[in-house]
Amino acid sequence: MTLRLRPCLLVHYHEISLKAGHRPMFLRYLRHNLDRATVDLQPVRVVQFPGRLMLDLEGNPTPEAVKERVTHVCGVANLALAQRVASQMDAIKAAVGRMIEGRQFESFRITARRAFQTYPLTSVEINRELGTFVLERVKTRVDLTNPALTIHVEVLPNETFIYSDREPGPGGLPVASSGTVVSLLSGGIDSPVAAWRMMKRGCRVEFVHFHSVPYLPVTSQQKARALVDRLTQWQFFSRLYLVPFGEIQREVVLSVPPPARVVVYRRLMVRIAEALARQTGAQALVTGESLGQVASQTLQNLARIDEAGMLPILRPLIGMDKQEITAQAQALGTVEISVAPAQDCCTLFVPKHPATRMAPEEVQGLEERLNLPALVKVGVEGAVLETFEFPKGAGPFPVSRRAPAAPEGSRSQ
């Protein structure tokens, strides 16, 4: 028989499958994001099958590049470059024979799954027949526990997917399926990790960076841009607001005693970030704070910061220690950017010994000395907006929280 192997990238999801009645909406977002991730790596066509998505790579010259892009798509549990053949045992055997041709492996395992129960062979019978087929052609042995080679066979009604090397994806939910948040981005290690964790929970993240130019150099802005550029690989389009904070800090210094300044600064940041969030329709703020990591991040002070705004403040790192956060930053490739020398607004006019347990009435009394509306207005009106795209031409996400409709001529089917 003439064997026709058609290359593809097989994508499995996990958490999305648990969403019951909302699953179609999450799948529309995932398909949309797969399209965006590969928009410049044509031809790619996204097709939905029961329990999985398939990226048709027939005629595509860069399948490895497509696979690399998809490893950054949240919602993907695992992925593998595979071959598609007809769901007939002769075709499946021929494809497995092509896969093992010229390879040496001391042990192997066949892992077969049927996506429908009317196929004439059970999964166990497929495993046995294909295992016998391999043993007749290669000097090897079966090892169901720790094989050197695992051959996956997924049988669907009209075609079968065959692959050997499966890689984990980021998991979670597709970006933009959970709404929009605004992340307060410093130049440190923590806040980029917090933003990424919200992307993994399906949020589209917008960024606000507070800088102290001209009192400090522009290096903190450069670091913020580099961090957002790196994180944009996970959500394809990002917006960064650069907010001048030096003059605001100077006004605080004139009226607020040193130990209380950190909490007052943070409350002003929350007010400014919330004003920007309301302009863009975001539903929450995000910070990289971790409980007790520094002197100002006590439960009492975090409560005072929360009281400054109306939107929820999400802290995805709240229970993580510095080693855990740093390990995640290293995996993301942001730690090298974060540790580069730079001075940001956190180093300007900040006391060595901040207050650790500020009471509500204490903060209120100190803020009565300030013209808060005027200071917030300075920050909001002085904010400069910059946009980032990956890959180029991806464009912005829709503002609506609803799943995007497939545009006319879409590559998704």
Low-confidence winner among 149-158, 216-225, 331-340 (lowest mean pLDDT):
216-225
Mean per-residue pLDDT for 164-191?
95
Cβ-count burial of 124 within 10 angstroms (0-12 exposed, 13-18 middle, 19+ buried)?
Answer: exposed
The C-alpha atoms of residue 280 and residue 274 are separated, in whole angstroms, by 10
Worst-scoring range by mean pLDDT, 128-132, 325-329, 401-405?
401-405
Closest CA to 6 of 59, 46, 47, 66: 59
Q: How confident is the model at residue 383 (pLDDT cuts 50, 70, 90)?
A: very high
Strands (E), 213-326: 237-244, 284-286, 313-314
pLDDT at residue 402, rounded to an integer: 39
Please state, in angstroms and rounded to a whole number, the distance separating the CA atoms of residues 28 and 30: 5
167: pLDDT confidence band, cut at 50, 70 and 90?
A: very high
pTM for this entry: 0.90
348 pLDDT band, cuts 50/70/90, is low
Find the mean pLDDT for residues 386-405: 65
| Tokens 């290293």 found at | 330
241-296 per-position pLDDT tens digit: 999 999 999 999 999 999 999 999 999 999 999 999 999 999 999 999 999 888 78
Query: What local confidence, expressed as pLDDT, does residue 155 receive?
Result: 96
Q: Please report which confidence band the pLDDT of residue 405 belongs to, taking 50, 70 and 90 as the band edges.
A: very low
Is residue 412 over pLDDT 70? no
Distance set, CA 15 to CA 200, 328, 406 (Å): 11, 21, 23
Unique residue bearing structure tokens 């007790």? 292
The answer on pLDDT for 408 being more than 70 is no
**pLDDT at residue 413, rounded to an integer:** 39
Can you read off the two tokens belonging to residue 136?
Answer: 């007749």
pLDDT of residue 292: 87
Task: Specify the pLDDT at position 270.
Answer: 98
**What is residue 212's predicted lDDT score, i.e. its pLDDT?**
85
Q: 330: Cβ–Cβ under 8 A, 6 or more apart, which residues?
A: none
- Reported confidence tier of residue 347, pLDDT bands at 50, 70, 90: low
The yes-or-no verdict on residue 343 having pLDDT over 70 is: no
The whole-angstrom distance between residue 173's C-alpha and the CA centroid of its chain comes to: 9
What does the pLDDT look like over 6-58, one tens digit per residue? 999 999 998 998 888 899 999 999 999 999 999 999 999 999 998 999 999 99
Residues 104-125 have a mean pLDDT of: 93
Share of the chain above pLDDT 70, in %: 92
